[in-house]
Structure 1
Amino acid sequence: MTKNKAALLCGILFGLGLTISQMSNPDKVLAFLDVTGNWDPSLAFVMGGALITLATLQHFILKSPQPICDTKFHLPKTNDIIDKRLIFRAIIFGIGWGLVGFCPGAVLAAFGDGKFEPFSFMLACVGGMVLFNIFHEKNNQSRFKDVPP
């Protein structure tokens, strides 16, 4: 299977999961964050299921000699890549998610609803990326190492 076909299949599966679990619905996400009102814990179960799946599969995948669609694994160079930039970006992500109930992955799945909100959110995301590239120089140093097969 080529990389593009595998990526397409994973994207479709991810989008179906978000749609079936209603995580592409911003009202559902905002209800999870509303701990003082009508709290909906279903997002915690979706995240928990994803975490259990990842932890289980990652254990077996990293024991294989190489990935299915590449010649080597691409892993972080060190375990200390949690820095101020990562924390700041995670905070910005969380604030945006909490304000509107969309994150970039879920908004792509929400495009099929035919509503205006996913398009306006994606436009804001692209605008933020453009502004970031204008005001910050790109760091050419890779934070990932190539792990040979």
Structure 2
Amino acid sequence: MRNLLTFFIGSIFGTGIAMSGMANPAKVINFFDVAGTWDPSLAFVMGGAVIVTFIGYRLVFSRSAPVYEPTFDVPTNRQLDARLLIGAGVFGVGWGIAGFCPGGALPALGTLDTRVAIFVAALIAGMLITRTALDRAALRTRAQGH
């Protein structure tokens, strides 16, 4: 049941991304082209997402616990550290250059466009490289006794 629900929610998200045009990299790139062919539709999509998320969080956190878990798993770290800022910067630059974010690229895989497949492959490679580098750094830190 849990996997079915996850699939259903992901399908709704993917459908929304596709219907809003956010799976089209030209739409995203045109949003950033304020001096040229600026397309403000991304701001409306984001605004709608913020409203839905705001309402959703209010409804979910009014419950004492999630449906399929004993407690909510909410991040407690609220620090703006270098890792967060660098990661956000890399994400933003990649999004501006490619016109894709992971949320838009995954539904766009259905278009069978090789540029999308290359982007998703690079995304996965970047995640694996980052995970490996962080794991190795943690091992070195532990070996040094810190």
SS at 1:43 equivalent:
helix
| Greater percentage in helix | 2
How far apart, CA to CA, are the structure 2 residues paired with 1:41 and 1:90? 22
Give unmatched runs, 5+ long, in structure 1: 141-149
Superposed CA RMSD in Å reads 1.6
Counterpart in the other structure of 2:11:
12
SS at 1:40 equivalent:
coil
Q: Does 1:82 align with 2:80?
A: yes
Deviation at 1:5, TM superposition (A): 1.4
Deviation at 1:106, TM superposition (A): 0.8
Give unmatched runs, 5+ long, in structure 2: 140-146
Percent identity for Structure 1 against Structure 2 = 38
Structure 1 residue runs of 4+, over 3 Å off?
none
Residue range with higher mean Cα deviation, 60-69 or 39-48: 60-69
Higher relative contact order (CA 8 A, sep 6+): 1
How far apart, CA to CA, are the structure 2 residues paired with 1:56 and 1:136? 35
Residue range with higher mean Cα deviation, 3-12 or 36-45: 3-12
Counterpart in the other structure of 2:64:
65
| Greater percentage in strand | 1
Deviation at 1:81, TM superposition (A): 3.2
1:68-113: per-residue Cα shift (whole Å, max 9, x none)?
A: 22221111224x2332111110100000000010111111110111
